[in-house]
Amino acid sequence: MDQIKLELPSVEVMEAAFRGRDASFDGIFFAAVATTGIFCRPSCPARKPLPGNTVFYATAAEALFAGYRPCLRCKPLFSSDDPDWLRELVARVESEPRGRIKESELKSMGLDPATVRRRFKSRYGMSFQAFQRARRLASAFEAIKEGGSIDDAVFDHGYDSHSGFRDAFAKLFGEAPGKAAGSDYIRLAWIESPLGPLVAGAVDRGICLLEFTDRRMLEAQAEALRLRFRLPAAPAPHALLERLEAELAEYFSGSRREFDLPLLEPGTPFQERVWAALREIPCGETRSYGDLARALGDPGAVRAVAQANGRNRIAILVPCHRVIGSDGGLGGYGGGLWRKRRLLEIERHGH
């Protein structure tokens, strides 16, 4: 998605607007409900979820790529000035997200593929083909959320999202295990959380990836992972991923403050020193970039510390969210400042 990252209102403001069905916030943010897998406009008339079950996104595209599907009541994918053909295409994709509408079919419908691409890019921040891929992935996510394993939901059922799922992740993470030499590969899993879905990766020696699925740096992190490990990746179960899911659930419930999992995060020697220093920050506390630089014995390396912090590939477990600005401000966070604020709240107050 080649789209400008929009600044969201505070979580408190968005929660109040969503619960108050405030139409003045329509278009400013979208509310996704973790328990149902649906995202809505702020003004949606549907019953509101319990507090803590809502995740907020700046665009519909971000909600789609995070695995949520659009609400049938408030129809968050449409606006009053959308042409009929756009509505019809979206309706077709929604009715059968596993299908594919190719450019040749668009032409047979009397539509110019370039016009369709530009309109979807303008309206949703992605091309029509990318829109279809997002819905195919969301279809696979839904099957997994309903209780099936990733293997059962994607590879063993024989439906069209099998190829869509593999293609999308082959593009992101590299070729499939069967095409690579060697006995090991990076196993991938999706983990639900109160702050949105996470993609996790593990090899036999440890957890090597944990990122929110809508993070802008995810593709760059995947490329770095591929270069460092020189291993393919594919959705598959692994004992470490099962332990990770269980420990994250305890963390978000407030009953766990430290993680007991082996981590494998190769980087440059300096990056590895920074990531080790991050793991030394106690849960419930914060440090500034300057504090970290001084702890590493190089007070002038503040900018380099910040860059290494931003390239951390294992969110939460390597707690880059505990680093704040020297003025006490939150600073930056690849997963979104609202998530950083919420993670710090969980660690300070236990929920």
Could you say which of 40, 44, 74, 208 is catalytic? 40
* Listed residue (62, 44, 53) closest to 8, CA to CA: 62
323, 288 Cβ separation under 8 angstroms:
yes
Neighbours of 222 (CB within 10 A): 23
Q: Do 193 and 248 form a contact (C-beta atoms < 8 A)?
A: yes
Residue ranges of alpha helices (H) inside the chain are 11-19, 60-65, 84-95, 103-108, 113-124, 128-145, 150, 161-173, 218-229, 239-253, 269-279, 289-295, 302-310, 337-349
As a whole number of angstroms, the distance between CA 295 and CA 40 comes to 45
CA pseudo-torsion sign 288, 292, 293, 295:
positive
**One of 44, 71, 74, 320 is an active-site residue; which one?**
320
Closest to 214 (Cα-Cα) out of 138, 160, 269: 138
Query: DSSP class of residue 101?
Result: -
Report angle CA 183, 189, 192 to the nearest 5 degrees.
165
Query: Which among 41, 54, 59, 55 has a CA at the least distance from the CA of 5?
Result: 59
Active site residue 320: yes
User: Do residues 66 and 32 lie in contact, with contact meaning Cβ atoms separated by under 8 Å?
Assistant: yes
Instruction: Give residue for tokens 């959380």.
Output: 193
Q: Which helix (H) or strand (E) holds 202?
A: strand 198-203
Q: At 282, list the tokens.
A: 């106690």
Which pair of tokens denotes residue 199?
């993609």
As a whole number of angstroms, the distance between CA 260 and CA 269 comes to 24
Q: Which residues participate in catalysis according to the annotation?
A: 40, 320
